[in-house]
Structure 1
Amino acid sequence: MYTSLIEKLEHTQVLRWFPNRQVQESWIVEIEQELGFPLPPSYRWWLLNYGVAHLSGTGILTISPPEHREYADTDILYMYRLADEDAKREGKVELFVPDEDEIYYFDIRTADANGEYKVIRLDYLNGEPEVYADSFAAFLERLIDERTPR
């Protein structure tokens, strides 16, 4: 199902993932219960098979072990708890903040028939959100493609 992404992950130099740092299914269930909505299938797959990655030195949000979740700024639930109420009402779930100029987030209002959420890129310089990818898997593939030297 994620053959193209798996191939890119095996050969990329721009996204560093760390073996044996996968997330446990029980942690995902806990997170989803508190969030009140399911995480998208491709993100769940990523968490269960890879779990932790950095792109250009910045972590893509993951799920931390429960004993570290209260202060782990790479944990998706921790960052969601810190989000303001407007962001939550607008369905924003932060996913990746590579620098101070942009942010990538799930828009949970855009679930498709498979339960995938669109990943939105917000450019703080022009203030315009744009659909960056139709799923988490497509988000990772596009980031890898765009940042791989040609």
Structure 2
Amino acid sequence: MYNTLEELIESHKNVLKLGLEDEVQDMWIEEAEKYLGFKLPNSYKWFSKKYEYVFLLGESTKIISSPEDRDLMDVDVTYTYFDYLKKNRFSKDQFVIYENSEEIYYLLIDESKEMAEYTVYLKKQWDGQDELFTVNFVDFLEIMIRFELGLKPKR
């Protein structure tokens, strides 16, 4: 199901900055989902377990930390989610997966979607405008990794 993304990552593993394989535990994912109150996309769970994170444009994708560490790490998905809710930067149906100084990418949570594969939106930091970026997390990663590597977009 994620063959194209996996091939892209594996063929460029020597230049991509990735996390640790098998670092993220199933229990951490279950705890995060319970804490968040919604299911994470299957693709996000697969990627987190397989690669933990990838650096894109100098910043890491958001990670799933151990329950003991999630409130200490600003790159943790649950920390970011509740911090942005508290600051009224995002609503409860917006789940941040990556941010840099200019852009924030988030999933629009729609639990009616099959396998929780939510649509990815882009919020520009300078004007706060939201726009549709792509249909799911896998496409987001493929687009961003290709950009990071200087490869042409897939058509």
Q: TM-score, normalised by structure 2?
A: 0.85
Percent sequence identity is: 32
Which amino acid is the alignment partner of residue 88 of structure 1?
S
CA distance in 2: counterparts of 1:106 and 1:114, whole angstroms: 13
Structure 1: which 5+ runs fail to align? Answer: none
2:100 alignment partner in structure 1: 98
| Aligned residues between the structures | 148
Output one character per residue of 1:113-150: Cα deviation in whole Å (capped at 9) or x when no partner.
23201111111334321121211111100101223225
CA RMSD of aligned residues (A): 2.0
CA distance in 1: counterparts of 2:38 and 2:23, whole angstroms: 21
1:14–1:56 CA contact under 8 A, matched in 2: no
Give the secondary-structure state (helix, strand or coil) at the position aligned to 1:83: helix
- Counterparts of 1:1-150 in structure 2, within 5 Å, are 1-12=1-12, 15-20=16-21, 22-84=23-85, 86=88, 87-89=90-92, 91-99=93-101, 101-109=102-110, 112-150=113-151
1:21–1:52 CA contact under 8 A, matched in 2: no
Change (3 A) 1:111 1:43: farther
Which amino acid is the alignment partner of residue 76 of structure 1?
V
Q: TM-score, normalised by structure 1?
A: 0.87
Give the secondary-structure state (helix, strand or coil) at the position aligned to 2:47: helix
1:60–1:95 CA contact under 8 A, matched in 2: yes
Q: Aligned-pair distance for 1:22?
A: 2.7
Structure 2: which 5+ runs fail to align? Answer: none
Change (3 A) 1:98 1:111: farther
